[in-house]
Amino acid sequence: MSNLSLESINKVFTSGQLPESFGIKITEVNKDSITGELTVDERHLRPGKIMNGGVSLVLIETMGSVSSCLFIDMEKQNAFGIQVSANHLNVARPGDVLTAKSTAVHIGRTTQIWDVNITNQKGKLISSGRITMLVTEMPLQKV
């Protein structure tokens, strides 16, 4: 398992990238899970003033990608989402604070599977998803 700190994760995986533009912040790092947060605003809406389901997929992809790095050597390996799916169970509205938590299902040498549940501030399940990550021997490019 990697020794990535919460600060370094937010710097490497969110700062100046898609998660930051969506308002996603990683809030907790555990040995086999990552938790992130997003407050729904105008950027995330579809007609009817409800959150677009694609936002849940971005959260699932982000949580899976960050989580996979807990179990790889980022100097020698990289991990890519190769399949993501979600079930949208409830709507989210502007002002809702969503929490996305990843849970490791399978940590293999070349693949990882992560379940990600997204709940609102009342604990209501908004979306439930799964992402499969492919682990390769290519390092992340350093900026």
pLDDT tens digits along 23-74: 999 999 988 899 999 999 999 999 999 999 999 999 999 999 999 988 998 8
pTM: 0.89
Q: What residues does 37 pair with on adjacent strands?
A: 25, 99
Catalytic pick among 7, 28, 61, 137 = 61
pLDDT over 70 at 75, yes or no? yes
Return the top range by mean pLDDT from 17-21, 65-69, 95-99: 95-99
- Decide: residue 39, CB within 10 A, 0-12 exposed, 13-18 middle, 19+ buried: middle
42 is catalytic: no
Query: Which DSSP symbol is given to 17?
Result: S
pLDDT band at 96 (very low <50, low <70, confident <90, very high): very high
